[in-house]
A and B are shown apart, each in its own frame.
Chain A
Amino acid sequence: MQTKDIGFSYNQPRVLNKVTISIPSGKMTTILGPNGSGKSTLLHVMANNLQPETGEVLLDNEKITQFKPKELARRLAVVHQQNISPSDMTVERLVSFGRMPHRNVFRNENKQDQEAIEWAIESTNLDDFRNTPIIQLSGGERQRVWIAMALAQKTDMLFLDEPTTYLDIFYQLEILELVKKLNRDYGITILMVLHDINQAIQYSDELIVMKQGEVYETGRPDRIITRELIRGVYGVDAKVAFDDTAGMYILPTTLKEGAAAT
């Protein structure tokens, strides 16, 4: 998937400006950047949830606006940051919503649907919660349910908007490990927005670093994450170090001289 010269604004000023990126198939790509850098907006534009003012988003060299909604939903699934569901919604019922793009009014659930739902529930380890209302689950379990729904869509691409925000560190790692497994085992192309730089370094094949609505840098984490980049993007001085097991990581030390939060 690629974007060409994406520009977007809610009002003035521009939230995205001339964003041209490409998402490599079969890889895990993370959009990283400070608050207000436009990273979530970019994800929504790429998911066809927001219409860009300029530029276009291409999937297999075809504009995503040309796809029928259902057709796009069979190619691309999205896990949003905050989700709402009615109080009597059970895990299995929600996951079965993921089959909607494959169904129509005149076709009931078939074997293929059931298999996809089973697979989604098993891959996200939700077997024990099938008939539990989502409202009774913990934050981490809930996030897995929404991921399961997206999986039931059986798409080759999965977008996640800050999937670890609001979660305890245990669930954060659990979710990221799950996403990694989906990528490695099933070859699903991942595009996610993350807030935590170290998690982004650890779990991404490619990084897209944004600042003030523009792409600041793209590339492999170990090639692009430097002291200068952190300083330039976040206005923070940080130590870039290596650990034998975790690999590369950063440790913020001080605010950049004279820097104000952007």
Chain B
Amino acid sequence: MKKTIFSFVTVSLLLVITIVYSAITGSIKVGAWDFVTGLFTGSNEQVEIVKDLRLPRIIVSLFSGAALALSGALLQSVLRNPLADAGVIGVSSGASFFSLLLVTLLPQYFFWTPLFAFIGGTVSCFLIYMLSWKSGLHPIRILLIGIAINAMFVGLTQAFITVCSYLGKIPDQSTSSNLSMRTWDDVQIVTTYGLAGIVLAFFLYPWCNMLLLQDKTARNLGLNVGMARIIISAVAVLLAAIATAVGGVIAFIGLLIPHISRNIVGTDHRLLLPFSALSGALLILLADTFGRTIIAPSEIPASTIMAIIGGPFLIFLLKRSDKVHAD
């Protein structure tokens, strides 16, 4: 228990430090103290610029990270699969494709992007369930089907962009995976829907815990397993969709963070979910801050950095799961 409290305090502190560091670093430099006082007084001109340009980006990063990490933790619980991640199995690319359709064809409904992203994510999720359910859920099967679905939606997205540019209609930048140029509009979307999703996810912890046991055991403990699956999946898709609608597709975070969190705070979702949310926020913000400062004024998107870390990590997990199955 002491270790758990220590872990929560550490990750929260790191989060605060990273937020402040990220806010004061970049092409415009502000002192940490000037930034904090400027935030409240509004008298410092530099801080005002940071507030307009950098703060939305930070908030969007934080919420995207938390949402994607939670989404991964929920998907892993519901699919009983440590390899499930919204970005890897195609939930995010489904969401991305549908939000691209909306933004291009009906740009006036910008605020409804998350809804369309949610529909797209649901389509992916439904396809994965339908195609990989064979008297149960087999981890590797889900991953393979998911990768195929992901490839399909990525392909559709690229084809759509090509067709649009041929027709002289350039799709909005927001669908490419990049956290730069975020505005307070994006912040409004991500906080409105994001907070709802995060709160919903926390309420699902007893169900996620029961799904740690087998279906038959959970059922005999009074859980309506089928219904719990649908609701948990829906919240997972919602979280991934919001993050994708605002921050684009960022894969692997939902894989990495819940795994590391499980090693630190254990499998009890009452702790695992909040810890994953905090660590996910921390990791994306770190990746984004690193990406925009390392070769400034050029930027490496956070999604690229996540792919570079995440790819090897997936291989590592796959190798380990081979061992688990051999037992």
Contact = CB atoms under 8 A, between A and B. Distances in A.
Which of B210, B217, B221 gathers the greatest number of chain A CB atoms within 10 Å?
B221
B267 A73 contact: no
Interface in B185-237: 203, 206, 209-210, 212-214, 216-217, 219-224
A77 B220 contact: yes
Contact of A78 (B206, B220, B224, B267): B220
B82 to A, nearest CB: 11
B268 interface: yes
Interface residues of B, number: 18
Contacts, number: 57
A contact residues, range: 20 to 34
B311 interface: no
A172 B213 CA distance: 24
B222 A72 contact: yes
Contacts of B155: none
A98 interface: yes
A80 B221 contact: no
Given A97-B210, A100-B210, A105 B203 contact: yes
Interface string B245-284: 0000000000000000000001110000000000000000
A254 B222 CA distance: 46
Nearest to A10: B135
A101 B214 CA distance: 16
A95 to B, nearest CB: 12
Interface in A74-127: 74, 76-78, 80, 83-86, 88-89, 93, 97-98, 100-101, 103, 105
A97 to B, nearest CB: 6
Interface string A54-82: 00000000000000111111101110100
Given A100-B222, A153-B221, A84 B216 contact: no
Contacts of B221: 73, 97-98, 100-101, 153
A47 interface: yes
A2 interface: no
Given A80-B214, A80-B216, A84-B214, A101 B266 contact: no
Contacts of B214: 80, 83-84
A177 B221 CA distance: 25
Given A100-B206, A105-B203, A84 B213 contact: yes
Nearest to B268: A93
A49 B219 contact: yes
Interface string A193-209: 00000000000000000
A78 B214 CA distance: 12
A48 interface: yes
A105 B201 CA distance: 12
Given A49-B219, A89-B267, A93-B268, A69 B224 contact: yes
Contact of B212 (A68, A72, A89, A101): A89
A73 B213 contact: no
Given A97-B210, A100-B221, 18 more contacts: A47-B220, A49-B216, A49-B219, A49-B220, A69-B223, A72-B222, A73-B220, A78-B220, A80-B214, A83-B214, A84-B213, A84-B214, A85-B212, A88-B267, A89-B212, A97-B213, A101-B221, A103-B206
25 contacts: A47-B220, A48-B219, A49-B216, A69-B219, A69-B223, A69-B224, A71-B222, A78-B217, A78-B220, A80-B216, A83-B213, A83-B214, A83-B217, A84-B214, A85-B212, A88-B267, A97-B210, A97-B221, A98-B221, A100-B206, A100-B210, A100-B221, A103-B206, A105-B203, A153-B221
Interface of B: 203, 206, 209-210, 212-214, 216-217, 219-224, 266-268
The 8 closest A-B pairs by CB, nearest first: A73-B222, A70-B222, A101-B222, A78-B220, A86-B267, A69-B222, A88-B266, A100-B221
